[in-house]
Amino acid sequence: MPTERTRSEYRLALVVEPAAASFGALTVRLIERGDRVAAAQLLLSAYRGTIDDEGEDDEAALDAIDHYFTHIIWPSSFVVLDGMQLVAMSLVVIVDEHHYIDPVATASSHKGRGIGRAAVTESLRSLASTGVVDVGATITDGNTASERLFAGLGFARVGEWV
């Protein structure tokens, strides 16, 4: 049975458009509806063995992606590909009239290379270019990789996510 987890909210005031992200030999593009299955597999890979792992299976991951696909801001949601493999994504949703980066996922085989950060940076650049000045994120408490990623981009914890 999964342990009860808490999440915190983080916010960033977008006063300057972030510098372009570096992807090296990887490809970045907007997410597409055809990425549904690959995005679900990415969620499973990214969460497996982490604090966010709730033992999801393929069907639960597809359900999660379907939910995100009904809420995401398509022009600000990006994927990163290594060849034909989806290895990272940064999706943007609106909750209570506020923009949030949720979820961010990096394939376990590509963690620790800054790819998730680069994907989030692309989402932030897109949002800034459309005039968005405030962005949030919700992070599971104890997910130190995500806490470091967002703190490194200038996000500050504002309290518990309710």
Q: Does domain 7-156 have CATH number 3.40.630.30?
A: yes
How far apart are alpha carbons 68 and 102 in whole angstroms?
A: 9
Identify which of 109, 47, 39 has the alpha carbon closest to the alpha carbon of residue 74. Answer: 39
Mean pLDDT, residues 17-22 taken together: 69
Contact between 78 and 122 (Cβ < 8 Å): yes
What does the domain layout of the chain look like in residue ranges? Answer: 7-156
CB-side exposure of 141: number of CA atoms within 13 Å? Answer: 13
Beta-carbon contacts of 9 under 8 Å, excluding residues fewer than 6 positions away, are: 136, 137, 138, 157, 158, 159, 160, 161
Closest CA to 36 of 67, 57, 75: 67
Q: Residues 6 or more apart from 145 whose CB is under 8 A from it?
A: 50, 111
Over residues 22-60, the pLDDT tens digits come to: 677 889 999 999 999 999 999 999 999 999 988 899 999
Task: Read off the pLDDT of residues 89-139 as tens digits, 9 standing for 90 and up.
Answer: 999 999 999 999 999 999 999 999 999 998 999 999 999 999 999 999 999
